[in-house]
């Protein structure tokens, strides 16, 4: 049995409520923010690691499949969070978004180089697009991930830890929502009919 999600537009993929999926993906980040605000970056990092593993476990329990991008994020959270706690150096957890976003950008653009619009593996439960739509959306998201990586580097290197944590929660999310909304015309042009 394959543990990872099937590709876009393939039949038989387990469905999960989009709001629950969003909660599983954003929940650990929200917990990270509140624990940092109440205690410190190290307590927040440990809690973030545990919450990420719980979210992945719940996702697996509900669908018997794991989405590739949350798994990659989870691995990087555990590795860099572990280094942060072991070495008592918050640089590692601050570098995590740079590494994850760069990795996602490279995976998406690399997939396109091999004719595979990989974004469909992540978003096909939300949108159903034709192949050209997935290619264009994958290209745009790949570039956006690289832009987020650069922005993270600028923020953590030039501002306080508390500012970085706040930006990670309250800056990245609005930017991502705004970017997603800006892609709606493309999505509308390339949308397929409803699943039967």
Q: List residues bridging with 4 in a β-sheet.
A: 66
- Residue 18, pLDDT above cutoff 50: yes
Q: Which pLDDT band holds residue 1 (cuts at 50, 70, 90)?
A: very low
Residue 55: which of 29, 24, 23 has the closest Cα? 24
- Residue 140, pLDDT above cutoff 80: yes
DSSP 76: H
User: Average pLDDT for residues 112-133, to the nearest whole number?
Assistant: 79
Instruction: Kindly report the average pLDDT of the chain as a whole number.
Output: 86
Residues written for the chain:
196
The tokens 């930006």 sit on which residue? 167
Q: Which pLDDT band holds residue 125 (cuts at 50, 70, 90)?
A: low
What was the pLDDT predicted at 98?
Answer: 94
- Measured torsion, CA atoms of residues 133, 134, 136, 138, in degrees rounded to the nearest 10: 160
CB atoms within 10 A of CB 2: 8
Please tell me whether residue 128 adopts helix, strand or coil conformation: coil
**Alpha-helical runs (H) found in 39-183:** 41-63, 68-87, 91-113, 119-123, 131-158, 161-170, 172-182
- Residue 43, pLDDT above cutoff 60: yes
Whether 60 and 66 have beta carbons less than 8 Å apart is answered as: yes
Write b or e for each residue in 37-71: b if 16 or more Cβ atoms lie within 10 A of its Cβ, otherwise e.
eeeebbebbbbbbebbeebbeebeeebebbbebbb
What was the pLDDT predicted at 195?
Answer: 47
How far apart CA 141 and CA 171 sit, in angstroms, is: 17
Both tokens of residue 131? Answer: 């192949």
Which comes out higher in pLDDT, residue 166 or 117?
A: 166
What was the pLDDT predicted at 184?
Answer: 92
Both tokens of residue 32? Answer: 């990270």
- Residue 193, pLDDT above cutoff 50: yes
Both tokens of residue 134? Answer: 């997935």
The answer to pTM > 0.85 is: no
Phi, then psi, of 79 in degrees rounded to 5? -65, -50
């Amino acid at each position: 049995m394959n543990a990872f999600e099937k590709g876009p537009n393939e039949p038989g993929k387990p469905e999960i409520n989009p709001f629950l999926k969003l909660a599983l993906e954003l929940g650990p980040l929200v917990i990270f923010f509140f624990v940092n605000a109440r205690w410190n970056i190290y307590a927040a990092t440990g809690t973030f690691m545990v919450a990420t593993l719980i979210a992945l476990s719940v996702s697996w329990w509900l669908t018997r499949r794991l989405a590739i991008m949350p798994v990659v994020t989870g691995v990087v959270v555990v590795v860099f969070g572990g280094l942060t706690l072991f070495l008592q150096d918050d640089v590692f957890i601050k570098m995590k978004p740079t590494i994850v976003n760069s990795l996602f950008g490279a995976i998406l653009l690399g997939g396109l180089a091999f004719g595979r619009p990989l974004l469909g593996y992540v978003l096909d439960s939300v949108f159903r697009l034709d192949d050209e739509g997935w290619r264009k959306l994958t290209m745009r998201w790949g570039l956006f991930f690289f832009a987020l990586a650069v922005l993270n580097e600028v923020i953590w290197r030039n501002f306080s830890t508390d500012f970085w944590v706040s930006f990670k929660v309250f800056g990245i999310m609005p930017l991502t929502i705004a970017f997603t909304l800006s892609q709606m015309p493309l999505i509308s042009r390339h949308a397929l009919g409803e699943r039967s």
